[in-house]
Structures are given as C-alpha cells and as structure tokens.
Amino acid sequence: MAQDKTKELLERGRAMYLPVYAQREMILDHGKGARLWDIAGNEYIDLGAGIAVSVLGHQNAELIQVAIEQMQKLWHTSNVYFTEPAIRLASDLVKNTFAERVFFSNSGAEANEAAIKLARKFASFHSSSEKHEIITFEGSFHGRTLTTVTATAQPKYQEGFGPLPGGFTYCPFNDFDAIEQQISDKTCAVLVEPIQGEGGVHVAKPGFLAHLQALCQKHDALLVFDEIQSGMGRTGRLFAYEWEDNIQPDIVTVAKALGGGLPIGSMLTTERVSQVMKVGDHGSTFGGNPVITAVAGAVLQQVCSSVLMDNVKKQSDQLQMGLKELQQQKKLFKEIRGKGLIVGAELQEPWEGKAAQLSELCRQHGVLILQAGPNVLRFLPPLNITDEELQEGLQRMKSALSRV
C-alpha cells in the first residue's frame, strides 16, 4: 500500500511540476532532529538540512511553540504596518552584526537583488552613471532571478535566458592579482561568497577578503558578502567572513538558515549606505511576515549560543574524520575541504562526474547528502546534530560507498 501511494504521488508530481528538479524516488513525510521518514516508513539521516536551511533540525520544539503562538495572533499585514516580531528580529540582527539597517525579503535571491539595487543606487547618488559595474567570482552562485543568475558566474545557469542584464564582470576566485587588475573606478561593488557552496565548497584564502576590502576602499566600491549558505553559524561563527580579522562589509545577505525551515531572506547594511534609499525604492509584500520573523528570532537566539557553536566545531571534526577514514579505505576523494559544517568532498578518478549517482546510492542506504556540481559530495547537516545521528549517518554512508 505504501509503495502504491509513493508511486502514485511521484507520477502526479512529475505530471504537474515544472520539470526543473531531479527529485529522488521518495515522498518525505516527517522528521525529528536530524532524522527524516518517508511515507513508506523508511528512515534517513539528514546530512543536507534542506540545503543548509533546517539549521536546528526537524520539529525543533522551541520553533514550533513560537510559530504556534504567533499564528494564533497574526499571520500577515504587509509592510504598510509595523509588527513586533519583525522589529525584534531586526533589532537582534543589528545587535549581533555590523549592521545598522535591515531589509526583509522571502529568499536569498531577493536579498541579493536588494543588495545589487542598493549598490547601484549608492553609486548613482555619490558618483556617476558610469560607476555601475559589479564584480562577482567564477564558481559563484547568487540566485535564480534574471539579475542574480547573471551575477552567478557559471554559464550553465545562464544558458538560454539571454539577453542577460549588463554591468556584471567575472573574476577568478581567490586570485589576488586578477581582482587587483580588474577592479576600477567603474566598479560600484564587489559581491563575493566567503565560501562558495554551490560552486564546490571553496573557502576564501587567508587574506583574500581583506584584499577585497582594501581594493573596494581604494576605488570607492561597496564590499558585499553573500552569506546565504555560509552564514547563520554554519562555520562556527555567525558569518564566515568573521574568521578573518578586521573585516567591515558594507552589505551582507542572509537567508536559508535564518528561518529554520521557513522562507525568509535579509539584507543587512550600514546607516551610511542605506540613506540613499527612499520610500518606494524597493519593497516586498511578504518580507518581514510576523510568523516567519518570530521563528527567525528564535533561530537567531539559538544560533548565537556558545553551546551550538561548540557543537559545530565538534561535529565538524567528526565529519571530516569520518570522510578521511572513508578516503583511506576507498580512495574516493581528491580533496576534502570546507569549514565548520559546510564540507565538500571532491571525487577523483574513476568516480569523477558521479556525485549524483553516489548521493543516490547513499539515499538508498538511509543517509541524505547533497552534491555541488558533478564532482563534489556536499555535507550541510543541522548544526545541532548529535553524536549518535552523525555517527549513524557516516556509518550508513560508508556502507553505501563500500559497494562502489
């Protein structure tokens, strides 16, 4: 009966959905902590957290309680009116970050759209119309809207969607000399991920972010960090850029984990930069929704706790140790890289190009992992994953890959 229901739902979904996803042969039904179950009763250890979204796992008791309490009061108002949960969340973001002003959206792509608009508006206000170029980096990923997919310096995401918006140039990531040659007085902003997630889990080299900051200051350009995947405690600090000393961004975008599973994005910026925007320049009907901002406030409070950050460090060590043991046994990986609980394992011959097949094999053995392109297995578990959950996930993965 369960198999029949799974088959029926899969057929209905495939018949009606826009065919843009390579979805797995399963219908997820419920979860608890870092465990998930499908409607057939199969259990999985979740080492992907909905692509870094379910930062506190599934059915987190505090988040459920906060959501219920707010849903029993008020669901939606639009930004014509203030609500207390959104004001509290904005205050907490300002308190815990460099920011002095906050804009709420529904997603990371929208947060990046807001950042791009703000950077262009700031340049037009303080300089000239020629100062509009934005530099991003090869291997980056900034979203799926037409503008953010243009900012994403990966041709595979852009093919067939031209003509693309102008004003973006691309630079090799972690190349100190190349960015120094490319940036100019026409540059209004440099948009960079401190850790490229979709691009294969590549971490900025020591000193690279400081180098970007110095160049931006020299050319009067804004420094924008996309922390949508690497932020919210994923690396053991609230933002990944905080691992480098004396960095002061102009704009930071955050989403994914901020809502703990509910959709929200945010653009954080300074008072100086924000002042070029006036009423009507930007907006979002659902941005700052009271239910979601109430939950996001609880997420932020948990993420900022030393207990959770200590767990990120502990489980990161265990995860990398487990992957290295697997490497010794099977010689699967060319390189294991990342920081905290954003980890990528790059495949080597003869397994290059087979990340999708290997992640599917792992699913069949009860552990959910992600890929970052065809060559990298990507791990983004909940930050509060327990010793037992992680070790069981690693054991299931070893069992699956031992069959390769």
Long-range contact list for 235-238, CB < 8 A, 24+ apart?
235/195, 235/312, 235/339, 235/340, 235/341, 235/342, 236/309, 236/312, 236/313, 236/316, 236/339, 236/340, 237/309, 238/96, 238/97, 238/303, 238/304
Of 303, 330, 354, the domain-final residue: 303
Other Cβ atoms within 10 Å of 60 Cβ, number: 23
Residues 230 and 346 in one domain: no
What pLDDT score does 129 carry? Answer: 78
Looking at residue 103, what is its pLDDT? 98
- Residue 348, classified by CB atoms within 10 Å of its CB into exposed (0-12), middle (13-18) or buried (19+), is middle
Same domain membership, residue 126 and residue 252: yes
Q: What is the rounded CA–CA span in Å between residue 116 and residue 244?
A: 24
C-alpha radius of gyration, the chain, whole number: 21
Quick check: helix, strand or coil at residue 185?
Answer: coil
CA distance 401 to 183: 45
> Does the pTM exceed 0.85?
yes
Q: How many C-beta atoms surround the C-beta of residue 254 within 10 A?
A: 29
DSSP 205: P
Looking at the fold, whether 254 and 348 belong to one and the same domain comes out as: no
* pLDDT for residue 114: 98
State the pLDDT at residue 4.
Answer: 86
Q: CA–CA separation, 381 vs 377, rounded Å?
A: 13
DSSP single-letter state for residue 262: B
Amino acid at 119: A
| Catalytic center residues | 141, 226, 256
Assess whether 158 and 221 both reside in one domain.
yes
Same domain, 95 and 54: no
Check: CB of residue 350 under 8 Å from CB of residue 215.
Answer: no
The overall longest dimension of the chain from CA atoms, in Å, is 67
Residue written as token pair 């140790």 = 321
Three-state secondary structure call for residue 346: strand
State the pLDDT confidence band at 49, using cuts at 50, 70 and 90.
very high
Asked if residue 273 is part of any domain, the answer here is yes
Map 376-400 to HEC letters. EEEECCCCCCCHHHHHHHHHHHHHH
Contact predicate 345/333, CB 8 Å: yes
| CATH code (residue 83) | 3.40.640.10
pLDDT of residue 403: 77
The last residue of a domain, from among 257, 288, 303: 303
Tell me which residue of 201, 223, 233, 400 sits closest to 310, measured CA to CA: 233
**For 350-381, what is each residue's pLDDT tens digit?**
999 999 999 999 999 999 999 999 999 999 99
Q: Are residues 48 and 84 in the same domain?
A: no
In a domain, 206, yes or no: yes
Tell me which of 303, 336, 365 is where a domain ends: 303
> What are 153-201's pLDDT values in tens digits?
999 999 999 999 999 999 999 999 999 999 999 999 999 999 999 999 9
Q: Closest Cα partner for 99 from 207, 264, 252, 229?
A: 252
